[in-house]
Amino acid sequence: MRSTWCKYILSFATIFCGVYADGMLRDVFAQEAEQTGEVSGSERDYLQWQLKQMEEVFQKQQEQIQKQQEQIQALKSRMEVLTVEKPPVTKEEIKHEIEDYLSTDDARKKMALGMPAITTIYTPDEEKLSLGFKSADDNYSLGIGFRMQFRYTFKDNDEDYGKSDTQNMDVRRARLCFGGNIYSKMTHYYIELDGDSFDVGVRDFYVYWTPMPELNAKLGYFKVPFNQQRMTTSGKLLLQDRAIASEQFDQDRDYGFDIYGKPFDGHMEYHAAMFQGAGEDDEDRGTEDNLDNELMYVFNVRYNPLGKYDTVDESDLKFTEKFKASVAASVVVNPKTRDDKLVDSDGILGVVELSMKYRGISWHNEFFARSDDPESGGETVDSNGFFSQAGYFVIPKKLEVAARYSMLDTDEDINDDIAREYTGGINYYFRGHRSKIQTDVGHFVTEEGDDEDKNENRIRMQYQIIF
- pLDDT of res. 361: 97
Render pLDDT for 374-397 as a digit per residue (tens, 0 to 9): 877 778 899 999 999 999 999 999
Backbone angles phi, psi at 321, to 5 degrees: -75, -35
Q: What is the mean pLDDT of residues 451-465?
A: 91
* Alpha carbon distance, N-terminus to C-terminus of the chain: 57
Distance CA 258, CA 30 (A): 107
Backbone angles phi, psi at 408, to 5 degrees: -140, 125
User: Could you tell me if 462 and 436 are in contact, meaning their C-beta atoms sit under 8 angstroms apart?
Assistant: no
Distance CA 371, CA 380 (A): 7
- pLDDT of res. 411: 87
Q: What is the mean pLDDT of residues 110-123?
A: 59
Sorted by sequence, the CB contacts under 8 Å of residue 269 that are 6+ apart come out as 260, 261, 262, 300, 301, 302, 304, 311, 328
Name the nearest CA neighbour of 427 among 382, 397, 467, 455: 397
> Alpha-carbon Rg of the chain, whole angstroms?
40
Q: What is the mean pLDDT of residues 280-286?
A: 50
Position 65 pLDDT exceeds 60: yes
- pLDDT of res. 71: 82
Query: Which range (72-76, 113-117, 155-159, 219-223) has the least confidence?
Result: 113-117
Distance CA 245, CA 253 (A): 17
Q: Provide the residue type at 57 as one letter.
A: V
Q: For residue 392, count CB atoms less than 10 angstroms from its CB and return exposed for 0-12, middle for 13-18, buried for 19 or more.
A: middle
CATH architecture of 147-172+210-466: Beta Barrel (2.40)
Domain boundaries, the chain: 2-83, 147-172+210-466
Distance CA 335, CA 251 (A): 7
Distance CA 125, CA 18 (A): 82
- pLDDT of res. 37: 46
Backbone angles phi, psi at 352, to 5 degrees: -125, 135
Distance CA 467, CA 204 (A): 18
DSSP-derived secondary structure letter, 329: E
- pLDDT of res. 89: 66
Position 262 pLDDT exceeds 90: yes
C-alpha 247: how far from its chain's center? 27
Name the nearest CA neighbour of 465 among 235, 194, 185, 183: 235
Position 202 pLDDT exceeds 70: yes
- pTM higher than 0.85, yes or no? no
Query: Which range (28-32, 366-370, 374-378) has the least confidence?
Result: 28-32
E-strand ranges in 309-448 read 324-333, 336-337, 340-341, 345-358, 361-374, 381-395, 399-409, 419-429, 435-446
Long-range own/partner contacts, residues 76-79 (CB < 8 A, 24 or more apart):
76/2, 76/6, 79/2, 79/5
- Percent of the chain at pLDDT > 90 equals 52
